[in-house]
Amino acid sequence: MSNDMHSKTISELAIGLRNGDFSSEELTRSYLDRINASQERLNAFITVTDEQAMKQAQAADQRITAGDSGILTGIPIAHKDIFCTDGVRTSCGSKMLDPFIAPYDAKVIENFQNDGAVMLGKTNMDEFAMGSSNETSFYGAVKNPWALDAVPGGSSGGSAAAVAARIAPGATGTDTGGSIRQPAALCGITGIKPTYGRVSRYGMIAYASSLDQAGPMAASAEDCAMMLQVMAGFDKRDSTSSERDVPDYSADLSKDLSGMKIGLPKEYFGEGLDGDVAKVIETAIDEYKKLGAEVVEISLPNTHMAVPTYYVVAPAECSSNLSRMDGVRFGHRCEDPKDLEDLYKRSRGEGFGTEVKRRILIGAYALSSGYYDAYYLKAQRVRNLISEDFKQAFEKVDLIMGPTTPTPAFNLGEKSDDPLAMYLADIYTIAVNLAGLPGMSLPAGFVNDRPIGLQLIGNYFEESRLLNAGYKFQQATDWHQKIPGEFA
């Protein structure tokens, strides 16, 4: 088998498997070798499931031979370690869940397995998905394949780094405030956060239940369309799951963009945006004009409220969701507790990291009597205003575009002692989660050899339009084909 397999996209690998150019066993073994060779430098995985992967690859080869293959049969995929996976450690990047072996599969894992995809392992992540840099993981920071002294972004940093270094052709991520799009941008790959409710949250360990959404991360929009096809759909076990039919996401990829109206929010191009990043984004927007799209300036006046709103709503929901991690029902249990109170205090104190504790405390405070109305209720009202901004904008435009992040990837440790600076890394992504809209990040260029992402925001359930716009851009540019030198 040729040595350049890792540079092929999921769609190219799928064709190769069907044509018998190589087997899933050969393909899976080559990716496992790449993972094991890079783990020390990148730290992208928490658990590598070698044995299980090879068994699944054998089964996939049999399905392909029998002519019974799905979209991703035989394709190796990595999963963020937030999805429960039967018989495999599911840690959420936390000491609290380090010993936890999930007794069942999340719906997302189930869907990939039913389709015949191969699981390479579970990727590293910010603890309980709380962080913007993948430095809060109990298993250590993930490194950015483009610059090993830089962060890959978070919380799905392990998945983003794995795809960028081509040690996995595709990976799952979750996005609560930008955690698919922001690491996709900083690692130079494509990532899409679907509409809230499009992908089941069953078996996905909850951070903030009204914001969390799973989505695909891959080199290209075409690959993300294939993955989303497998991930999306109604699930009766998730009460927030949408019953809307799933369209064929690959069907409209090459649709002409002429006449498409793109809105550029003036709030995304003001103070705080790095000048060099702005130039990259403007060049990308010019590309869309060449493709026939019309560009207009719009306003999302409540954008400045997105970060403070999010950091009331998300911690409030996290403090509630993580209350079950108490050393009794779930999670790490301290040694020799004196009494029940000591058991709770020490188990949670030892099991959770600093950032998670910070958010639990903020959330518990915001929900406490006397403060609920002042903080949580007010935040939910502002959240409605933010949604209304988008609603009005989509009456005038088809898509909204802007930067995914205000700067290129920052260095490891640079913002660790400054939580507020870290929180502002998600300034352009958070509002999309508060409104429940679909959002996507595409590789659009480089600043100082570090990748820059262009963000696309669509109206509810318009993932096909996002994927179409992403695909056409990638037909006209080659940023998504760039591989970090060390991993080429």
For the annotated catalytic residues, the residue numbers are 80, 155, 179
Cis bond leading into 368, ω under 30°? no
Distance (Å, rounded) from C-alpha 328 to C-alpha 344? 8
Residue 249: C-alpha distances to residues 158, 385, 461 (Å) = 26, 31, 11
| Residue with token string 């999309």 | 432
Sign of the Cα pseudo-torsion (304, 284, 188, 89, in order):
positive
The Cα 482–Cα 10 span in angstroms is 15
- Would strands 213-218 and 170-175 be described as parallel, antiparallel, or unpaired? antiparallel
CA-only gyration radius of the chain, Å = 21
* Single-letter amino acid, residue 117: A
Q: How far apart are CA 457 and CA 453, in angstroms?
A: 13
Residue 447, phi then psi, degrees to nearest 5: -130, 120
